[in-house]
Amino acid sequence: MKYAYVAYTKNKKMVKGQLEANSEEAAANLLGYGGYQVLSLKEVVPFFDREQMFARFSRIKPSEMVMFSRQLALLLESGTDIVTSLELLQDQVTNSSLKKIIAQVISDIRGGSSLSAAISKHPRAFSQLYYRAMAAGEQGGNLEVVLRQMADHIERAALTEKKVRGALMYPLVVIIVAIAVVSMLVTLVLPHFSDLYRAMGSDLPILPRMLIGFSDWAQKYGLYVLIGIIGAFGGITVYIRTATGKYRWDKFMLNVPLIGRINLLNQLSRCCRTISLLFRVGVPLPEIISVTIYSTTNKIIEEALSGVQGDLLRGEGLSRPMSKRKVFLPLMVQMTSVGEETGNLDKTLATVADSYETESADRTSAAVGMIQPVMTIIVGLIVAFVAVALITAMYSIYDQF
């Protein structure tokens, strides 16, 4: 960051200038070491910061965080101090955004900050779950163990997301191809046949007339329909960004047929993983639920977890408040109860997460398996309808001549 300063030299001469530093405190220290008496020190905020814009849109991949966590754990386990370990990793990191974040973390640690406090300032790279786990690891003296657990957690979550995206890729491609085929038929093929049939002045059967009528309608109003669809999509997107819209959308996504159960399983498995990890490293349950609330992306689950947290603080435990809310499935409630009784909440919820992730993967594969033949049939029927309509029209013309 750049800082503009006004200061006096040892000769009582006023000077102005700018310098680069990681923080305002570091900038003041640099000026002090140079023999300057600082009068004013302000951060320079440019109208357009290209590096900041690039950093905002550049993504730090989960694989990079997994590698960072495992390498840091290995260095700490070998006896290397935290600052030296981070400096070694900074030289190896290829992502420019992550490299700058590590540099700022190093600067904060040298300034007296703990690792967890330093990384908490960079949510783009380190989630709340990550730095809360690091704080627990620092207190328990097992930071390298927590780092490995976080690496496993990030890797497992990324693998689950990759599987879901891979399963949905083929149906998406089929849908795009279907839209492209229909658009080409309506805009390129049918208008030529329509002009030919009109020029001949022949009476056509019902199917060709329907097809030509649809082609004419699409040519005339297609652009307006497209604008309407884009406008509706934009309006829905804006509405979903509001608190009420987000709540209703999340509720719909948990109740919609076929994929509602999949979304619920994914949300609950993420909650189970978060609770399991933080409980294993020794974070208190109220704080665990707070992090879980923050990390969930569904307002319905967030509302339910907030209710559980309130009951937990009143001394009702964890499984009992969960049983009052239908969003938590029976297996999760039962295994939470077993974990509370045995003191193995981390293991029982990890088992639940494995079960839910397996069921989600099976249901996703089944849903995709249903979508594929349905889309193939729809595309086939459209092409067949067009072909039959054109052939019928041709035979009708031959009969009239």
Quickly state the pLDDT bin for 48 (edges 50, 70, 90): very low
Q: Which amino acid is at 132?
A: R
The rounded mean pLDDT for the chain is 82
Q: How many domains does the chain have?
A: 3
Order of all β-strands in the sheet with 37-43: 14-20, 2-8, 37-43
Whole-prediction pTM: 0.69
Q: Are residues 104 and 229 in the same domain?
A: no
Alpha helix ranges (H) inside 243-344: 243-255, 260-280, 285-295, 299-313, 319-323, 330-342
Residue range 50-61, pLDDT digits in tens? 545 444 556 788
Statement: residue 344 has pLDDT above 80 = yes
Q: Between 156 and 349, whose confidence is greater?
A: 349
Cα–Cα distance between 389 and 314 in angstroms, integer? 71
Q: Are residues 178 and 289 in the same domain?
A: yes
Q: Is the pLDDT of residue 312 over 50?
A: yes
Tokens of 159: 């693998």
Torsion 349-354-355-356 (CA) sign: positive
Q: Same domain, yes or no, for 356 and 298? A: yes
Which of 57-61, 83-87, 138-142 shows the lowest mean pLDDT across its residues? 57-61
Q: Closest Cα partner for 158 from 87, 62, 233, 253?
A: 62
Residues with Cβ < 8 Å from 55, sequence gap 6 or more?
96, 97, 100, 124
Q: Tell me the per-residue pLDDT of 236-281, one tens digit each, with 9 for 90 and over.
A: 989 988 989 999 999 998 998 878 898 899 899 989 988 998 898 8
Using DSSP, state whether 41 is helix, strand or coil.
strand
The per-residue pLDDT for range 87-127, each reduced to its tens digit, is: 999 888 888 888 889 998 998 888 888 888 888 888 888 88
Angle at 240 between CA 234 and CA 245, to 5 degrees: 135
Evaluated on CA atoms 162, 164, 167, 171, the torsion sign reads: negative
pLDDT at 387 > cutoff 50: yes
Q: Does any domain span residue 82?
A: yes
Q: Which of 155, 180, 215 is the last residue of a domain?
A: 155
Residue 256: DSSP 8-state: S
Domain hosting 183: range is: 159-401
CATH classification of the domain holding 30: 3.10.20
In a domain, 331, yes or no: yes
Residues 235 and 280 in one domain: yes
242 and 95 co-located in one domain: no
